[in-house]
Amino acid sequence: MFYHLSASVGSGKTKAVFDYFHDHLNVGYLFVCPTNELCEEAYRRLLQTLVDRPAYSSGNNLRLINGDNVDGLVFPTALEACRQYDPSTPPILIITRPTLLFLCETLSDHEKVNFEVFIDEGMTPIEQIQFAPSDKQPFLERFLIGKRGLTTAASGQREILEIVARDPRGMNARGLGELAVPEFREICRWVVSENYDAFVFEGGREIEAIGVLAPRKLQRFRNVTMIVAAFDLTLLPRLWESLYGVRFEAWPHAKGLFDTHTEKGPYITLHYLLHPDDLPSKQNLHRNAETGEPDERDPRLRVVYALAKQVNAMFPDGSFCWAANNPFMNEDEVLEGRRMPTMSAGLDEFRRFDNVVSLVAINPKPWVQRAIKEVFALEGDEVFELWRFGPTYQTIGRCSLRDRESHRPINVVVLSRQCAERLQGLFVGAQIAGQCTNMTRLSHGNAAGRPASGHGGMRYTSADNTAYSKYRARSARNGVEALTKELWFEDIRRERLH
């Protein structure tokens, strides 16, 4: 059985789970965190929750097993801890996602039924790989690529794929040196693993692949609960229902959760940084702020730097927390607030800030978006929204939204109007103040000699029109729905012009 615990950020989801552990110590638990830091935090909180259960607070039945706390190898340690199961005091193990995936493939079904699994902040549903070898054939001939790109080992190739995936040092000794490509090894890992389904596509000169996390090995546990704020706005439940027919039920033990969306909504003012008609893409953030030209190399001339300067002026005392994509180095310390990790889910150390800024733009590459549309029959816009909204939602949820006792006004700054509107739909009573910068529209600039015009803000050249016609014909031959002309130009054509 798969459950979701998907109340709002700051609602007390993790506390509800730990209280449940306290009152139901008749089974084993695997509590899974995305980072070692969050594992440490979970361990400290569980020690406090179980303080009156000495077998756990003082004994060896509550264990933190990760790379920072284990002498030796993590995976064998976790496996041994699971197999030393004592029904009189079932263990509680705090582990990371890679360890869970190892246990999924290693534990037998009768061992898995001893454990309920709780996955804090969920799992990454899709991995992606793209590489361009000089000759694709030695790689592709190892695979049997079926309907919609679903890929298995070709006849007689399973052992070779296992070697590539699990024994890279032994490849040369077996005459497989030409396959020693990190990207190919990752694809092989998906193909030979029961934890993933691999989908491989040919993209011109490239080999493109996505690895989709599969539920088959997880569903053998007693039950699995995803602890994810706004779970229905994430990609995983849509993918699993579309491909595997898996539906998540609401976790039945959630009690007394704080409704952050309702209680905090009236205190929130939403601001957005880009022009109302622009999308929050990395391509837009890396444009020249003055000319709109893409791929500006000087970080101080980029759009993201110009936005950061204006954000800093909004909060001149540095009283804000913020997150951005990792390549943004905060040149000249243009943002004086406190930086958060790009992926900040679960962190609680920024709750004193009433002002929060998200410069995070995490979008699927065009080929990934097209592949997902083909495999899962999801609309392209839906994929785009689900992919990018989660990190933004988690970023803004780190601030004083988490402080139930605070009634101070909260300023939330996001990249786009679309994101602000989606947040307003979640936080009841939140107000949108509008664009808080003077950034003009980027997506129709005069790049490549294209002046603005009425329809979509773009006048296409005859070469553009010809290229788009060829693209649509190619998409039709491949059975793939074509992007709209404006999206095609932004996501594909413009990159090839520069």
Give yes or no for residue 301 having a pLDDT over 70: yes
Q: Where are the domains of the chain?
A: 2-124+216-250, 133-204, 260-443, 462-497
Q: What are phi and psi of 239, to 5 degrees?
A: -65, -45
Mean pLDDT value across the chain = 87
pLDDT higher than 50, residue 407: yes
Calpha distance 64→395 (Å, rounded): 26
Q: Is pLDDT above 70 for 452?
A: no
Q: Are the C-beta atoms of 281 and 363 separated by less than 8 Å? A: yes
CB 420 within 8 A of CB 271: yes
Q: Give the pLDDT confidence score for residue 444 in this predicted structure.
A: 59
pLDDT digits (tens, 9 = 90+) for 88-104: 999 999 999 999 999 99
Crossing angle of the two packed helices 235-244 and 380-396, in degrees rounded to 10: 140
Say if pTM beats, i.e. exceeds, 0.95.
Answer: no
Burial 273-289 (b: 16+ CB within 10 A, else e): bbbeebbbbebbbbbbb
Picking from 71-75, 107-111, 142-146, 211-215, which range would have the lowest pLDDT averaged per residue?
71-75
More confident position, 440 or 473: 440
Q: What digits encode the pLDDT tens for the residues 244-291?
A: 999 999 999 988 899 999 999 999 999 999 999 998 888 899 999 998
Across the range 472-482, mean pLDDT stands at: 64
More confident residue, 481 or 357: 357
CATH code of the domain made up of 2-124+216-250? 3.40.50.300
Q: Are 383 and 235 in contact (CB under 8 A)?
A: yes
Domain 260-443 has CATH 3.40.50: yes
- Do the domains 260-443 and 2-124+216-250 match in fold? yes
pLDDT in tens, 177-224: 888 899 999 999 999 999 999 999 987 889 999 999 999 999 999 999
pLDDT at 450: 38
Residue 386: the pLDDT is 74
How much is the pLDDT for 381?
A: 63
